[in-house]
Structure formats: C-alpha cells, structure tokens
Amino acid sequence: MSFVPLVFSGVQPTGNLHLGNYLGAIKRFVEMQATHDCIYCVVDQHAITVWQDPFELKKQIREVTAAFLAAGIDPVKHIVFNQSQVPEHAELAWVFNCVARMGWLNRMTQFKEKAGKDKENASVGLFAYPTLMAADILVYRATHVPVGEDQKQHLELARDIAQKFNNDFKASIVSNGHDGELGYFPQPEPLTQGPAPRVMSLRDGTKKMSKSDPSDYSRINLTDDQDAIAQKVRKARTDSEPLPSEVDGLKERPDADNLVTIYAALASKSRADVLGEFGGSQFSVFKPALADLAVSVLSPINTRMRELMEDPGHIDAVLADGSERAGAIAAKVMGEVKDIVGFLRSRKS
C-alpha cells in the first residue's frame, strides 16, 4: 500500500512575481500536470506574515492566479485556488503547531533572514510559517511538492511533522481504520531539481532573486514589458571576461553562472550546450541573445496575464471553483484528523 501521488505547491501573492518564481516553481507546476493530479494554491495567509496593504493584496492574489493560468496551468483538469478560502489549512496548522517543536522552528533559516536583526518585532505568523506550509501540503495528503531550493528546509520540516504525527497518534490511526505502518500522512517529496532551482539577483549573483529586493533591476518581473526586460538584462552585473567554453569555468563567476543558467532554463537546454554555443563570446554578444530569448518566452505570458487581469470576475470564478473542489478534499482529511486526535466532529464534518 502507498499514498496516491498528488502534487501540491503554492506561491505567495506578495507582488513582483519574478523570473525566479517562474523558473523555480511555476514552469515546473505546468510540466507536472502531464503526469500528476495537481493542486496549486495562492498562499495569501502566508503573505500576511509580513505587512500587506489590503487594497494591494486583493490585486496580487488575482495577479498570481493570472500568472498560473497564463503560464499554462489548467484549472479544470487540476485545481487552482487561494488558501484563505479553505479554512482547513489554518485548522490543521493549529494541530501541527502542537506537533512541531520550538527547536525545529528555531532552526529555520528563512525566518532568521526575513526577521533580520529585529526578531522580537517579527510576527508570530512569520515564525510559525512552516507549520502552515506543512498543513497546506498535508491537508491534501499530497506526496510531491515542486519548489525552489529556498523552500527545501521547510519541506524537510513538513516531513518531520508528518512523521511525528504518525508516531504520536499511531494507536489512534490504527483504531480509526488506517494503516499503522504507513501512517496517516505521507512524507511529501520535495522536487527541487528544476532547470533553475535558484535564480540569482541580476545585481548580485550571490543573492537570490527575490520579490522583496528593493532594486527592481535585481529581477525580471513577469509583468515587465519587452523594453524593461531588455534593459534589465543589459544592465545585469557581469565580470569582464568572455564566457568560458566549459561549465567548470563558471566556478567563482556567480554573475556569469547566473545568466548562463537563466539562458539554459529558458531555452530548455543544459548549461554545457549554452556554453557550446556562446563559449568565448563577450557579454556584449550574449546579453542581447539572452534578452531576446527572455522576451520570446515571457512576452506571451505577460500578454495573457494582462488580458486575464482585465476580467477579475473570471479569475474570482476560477478561484471559487478551485476552493470548492479543494475544500471537499480538505474537509474529508480534517474530519479524519479530528477522529485521530480525539476531537469530536462538528455538525459540518
């Protein structure tokens, strides 16, 4: 016996959706649809772990949904919805807050990075973010999670939570008719081996490309037009050497490595193939080729996103339908979790 394969992943509606989110996550979401049942979520409850302007947040939720659809996610065959419309995510997160240990959460590097020096002033939600993320995945008993490399540690925590829940409640899991050896929750597999699991800043090849970087030149936004994309690639930081002919020659050259990785991911080629073509070239030759490629891949997505954003009613209907279908799965799982934990079921579940 094993768990039914199911993919779950999410993106926060925190504005400035960028090439890293696309290559590290959304592009993979699209590919996974061919082989798996998939649930893709706009994780708005995660977004408010840091302050969000309520007027902007609504727009950003629709924008991430538009990006999913424009990139090629099919909301009929699969499920697209926003987290806050399915209350079972928060409900299971509470149970997981009581399963996870403080020591585990204290080790999370993303909290340390995001809270910075002013840890005392960070929200409790930012600290507990990984338990909500575990609940997002496990409330569907999902088995596979495509994410960028930055989320790997959180995924490992989700696996630890699933395992501890299965151990802590083993007797109750069995008495409620589930397989005691398998446990109630699967151990979700992180899928981080995409073409560009870690896209770096265009201004600093040692830093992750990120929505919250104050410099807009550090990232290519999915909403950037052709001119903006070309300008950002032109201004991307590089060194003065020509490109090497072998991948080994990219060591110690993080900016060059980043641009070659981006090219390879956009062209669905290996870095070796890209260097086979451009090895020995100056950046004055490589950058225009990269800009053209980025425009050719991102422009259709950008155009479709704009069209979709002009019809918020359609986006809201997609989310409502997705929430209905996601909610049906989540309610069943949450009902069983209540039985296992020892809660009495409510009238609804």
Contact 16, 221 (CB under 8 A): yes
24 touching ligand AQP, by CB under 6 A: yes
58 touching ligand AQP, by CB under 6 A: no
208 is catalytic: yes
Question: Active site residue: 58, 152, 170, 211, which one?
Answer: 211
For 233, 260, 263, 281, the CA distances from 241, given in Å and listed in that order, are 17, 14, 18, 9
Nearer to ligand AQP, 83 or 151 (CB): 151
**Which helix H or strand E contains 235, and what residues bound it?**
helix 226-235
11 contact partners, CB below 8 Å, separation of at least 6: 17, 21, 25, 26, 40, 41, 42, 43, 64, 67, 68
Q: How far is the CB of 220 from ligand AQP (least distance, A)?
A: 11
CA dist 14 and 221 (Å) reads 12
Q: Which stretch binds ligand AQP (CB under 6 A): 182-190, 194-202, 312-320, 331-339?
A: 194-202
198 touching ligand AQP, by CB under 6 A: yes
| Residues 3-22 close enough to bind ligand AQP by CB under 6 A | 11-12, 14, 20-21
348 is catalytic: no
Q: Which of 150, 156, 189, 321 binds ligand AQP (CB under 6 A)?
A: 150
Nearer to ligand AQP, 24 or 183 (CB): 24
117 is catalytic: no
283 contact partners, CB below 8 Å, separation of at least 6: 238, 242, 243, 256, 259
Sign of the Cα pseudo-torsion (312, 51, 104, 28, in order):
positive
CA 183 to chain centroid: 26
Interface with ligand AQP (CB under 6 A), residue total 19
Catalytic residues: 114, 208, 211
Binding site for ligand AQP (CB under 6 A): 11-12, 14, 20-21, 24-25, 147-148, 150-151, 197-199, 208-212
